[in-house]
């Protein structure tokens, strides 16, 4: 049941979109089709992912004031009221970033799964108006075979992941609270910067160049989006009395 829903709503539409792109791209370059499809999906998800990034950045800006509330010595009820007022004043929902991310994940994973499973078009999964491409060129730009392992693309995937982590909204440095939430956030940030890029490169190399190309495109798109969000001005934080 769940697999049928997954195929009907996510996997099959993305696979058909890839088949269509391969059929219209000159030379049937599958690598170019992978890039175009990844960008199209990212553009569709742009409003959601932008709000998620903005929400995370806004929460980081609020961190010093949240710490002051925690260290104020007030009762739990007063702290909760001050925290709620702070969120309300800056029109911030602490859970919106996570919710928006959860909405995006199935689509992003389905796109990844299309390339992970291998690019094989069969008439049984293609829509009636989508035909199996007559020409499928797995040699990306005439240089790299994305149907096989590619060390070059795997390394680039790791580098792009490192760049993406670098431009992510960074946790605000707090004074002395040392809460579990802050420690966990800093630990995750360090892992995203220094561990995850190697993991991405390792996985990309051991699967295929198509997956590596997907990761490179996705990460570079996110870098551009994060730079765009960082240029937007957030309201200054006003200390609540």
Token output for 51: 């709000």
* pLDDT averaged per 10 residues, the chain (length 241): 79 88 89 92 83 71 73 74 75 64 74 78 80 86 87 91 78 49 56 78 86 89 82 50 40
Q: What does the pLDDT read at residue 155?
A: 93
Report yes or no: 90 and 58 within 8 Å, Cβ to Cβ. Answer: yes
DSSP E strand boundaries for 98-231: 139-140, 144-145
Which residue matches tokens 């009762």? 75
Report yes or no: 193 and 164 within 8 Å, Cβ to Cβ. Answer: no
Q: What does the pLDDT read at residue 186?
A: 58
Enter the pTM of the model: 0.74
Token output for 120: 């094989």
Q: What does the pLDDT read at residue 190?
A: 66
142: buried, middle or exposed (CB in 10 Å: 19+, 13-18, 0-12)? Answer: exposed
Q: What does the pLDDT read at residue 14?
A: 87
Which residue matches tokens 């149907």? 147
Domain ranges of the chain: 2-231
Q: What does the pLDDT read at residue 39?
A: 93
DSSP notation for 114-129: HHHS-----TTTS-TT
């Amino acid at each position: 049941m769940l697999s049928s829903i997954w195929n009907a709503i996510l996997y099959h539409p993305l696979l058909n979109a890839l088949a269509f792109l391969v059929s219209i791209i000159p030379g049937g370059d599958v690598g170019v089709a992978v890039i175009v499809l990844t960008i199209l999906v990212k553009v569709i998800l742009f409003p959601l992912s932008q709000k998620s990034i903005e929400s995370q950045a806004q929460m980081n800006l609020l961190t010093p004031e949240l710490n002051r509330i925690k260290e104020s010595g007030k009762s739990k009820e007063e702290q909760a009221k001050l925290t709620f007022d702070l969120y309300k004043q800056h029109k911030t929902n602490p859970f919106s970033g996570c919710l928006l991310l959860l909405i995006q994940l199935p689509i992003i994973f389905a796109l990844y799964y299309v390339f992970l499973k291998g690019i094989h078009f069969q008439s049984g999964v293609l829509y009636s108006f989508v035909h199996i491409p007559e020409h499928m060129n797995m040699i990306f730009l005439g240089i790299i075979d994305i149907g096989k392992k590619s060390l070059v693309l795997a390394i680039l995937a790791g580098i792009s992941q490192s760049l993406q982590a670098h431009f992510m909204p960074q946790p605000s440095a707090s004074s002395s609270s040392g809460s579990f939430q802050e420690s966990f956030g800093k630990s995750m940030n360090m892992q995203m910067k220094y561990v995850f890029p190697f993991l991405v490169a390792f996985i990309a190399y051991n699967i295929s160049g198509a997956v590596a190309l997907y990761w490179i495109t996705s990460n570079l798109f996110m870098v551009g989006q994060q730079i765009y969000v960082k240029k937007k001005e957030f309201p200054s934080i006003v200390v609540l009395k």
